[in-house]
């Protein structure tokens, strides 16, 4: 059962990490513009938040998830604003010819921003509820070791994906010209900004919905 939970967590972690959303674009952009370490640390921030959400959901601890769901409007506004800010900043930034060296503060911030964006999104927790229901994962209420193993597997699976992506970008980064990096900046920045705008549109639609 221990190995099964760990392997299941790894599979779920890969399932959650592989789809390219706005945070995935942000991680890729950071890897290309600031170096693979920034992309990897950004991905690890997402992986840590996913593992935390996986563990809380498996334990059936609804206190944190209920708080996030009840305050989802405020959290989405903050998240939407931050995504718009990041997207516009990326769009307007010219790619550096050389990644910064020894930027420890930058790595910590790269990790922290993606962690906070992921863990503050109620959809993160709800997605694990849906995944567990689809895979037939039962509540692990009171079984903290089992929940920790499942969460550890989710973290490992997610980190494996981000590590593979970072290695791939190291191997193929030389194929990107400076002009191509500039276009990647603009495309990813625009996509991230649009993702932030979509969050606001979803809030507006929810506030002005008519009928049940």
pLDDT tens digits, residue range 114-159? 998 888 777 788 778 777 776 667 767 778 888 889 999 999 999 9
Checking if the pLDDT of 35 tops 70, the result is yes
Residues 6+ apart with CB under 8 A from 145: none
pLDDT in tens, 163-206: 887 787 777 766 655 565 566 667 766 776 787 777 667 666 55
Residue 136 Rama label (left phi>0; alpha psi -120 to 50; beta): left
Residues in the chain: 212
Give this prediction's pTM.
0.69
Contact 60, 139 (CB under 8 A): yes
Task: Give the dihedral sign, CA 54/55/58/61.
Answer: negative
**Cβ of 143: how many Cβ atoms within 10 Å?**
15
Specify burial of residue 11 (Cβ count, 10 A radius: 0-12, 13-18, 19+).
middle
The set of residues, in sequence order, having a beta carbon less than 8 Å from that of 157 and lying 6+ positions away, is: 9, 10, 11, 12, 13, 14, 15, 16, 17
């Amino acid at each position: 059962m221990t190995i099964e939970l760990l392997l299941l967590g790894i599979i779920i972690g890969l399932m959650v990490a592989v789809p390219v959303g706005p945070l995935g674009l942000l991680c890729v952009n950071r890897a290309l513009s600031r170096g693979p370490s920034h992309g990897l640390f950004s991905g690890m921030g997402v992986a840590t938040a996913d593992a935390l959400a996986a563990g809380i959901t498996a334990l059936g601890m609804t206190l944190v998830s209920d708080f996030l769901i009840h305050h989802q409007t405020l959290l989405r506004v903050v998240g939407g604003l931050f995504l718009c800010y990041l997207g516009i900043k990326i769009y307007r930034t010219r790619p550096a010819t050389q990644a910064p060296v020894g930027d420890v503060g930058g790595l910590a911030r790269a990790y922290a921003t993606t962690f906070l964006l992921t863990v503050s999104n109620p959809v993160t927790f709800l997605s694990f509820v849906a995944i567990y229901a689809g895979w037939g994962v039962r509540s692990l209420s009171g079984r903290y070791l089992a929940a920790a193993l499942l969460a550890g597997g989710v973290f490992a699976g997610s980190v494996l994906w981000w590590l593979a992506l970072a290695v791939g970008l190291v191997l193929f980064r030389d194929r990107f010209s400076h002009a191509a990096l500039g276009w990647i900046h603009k495309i990813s920045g625009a996509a991230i900004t649009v993702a932030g705008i979509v969050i606001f549109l979803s809030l507006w639609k929810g506030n002005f919905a008519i009928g049940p």
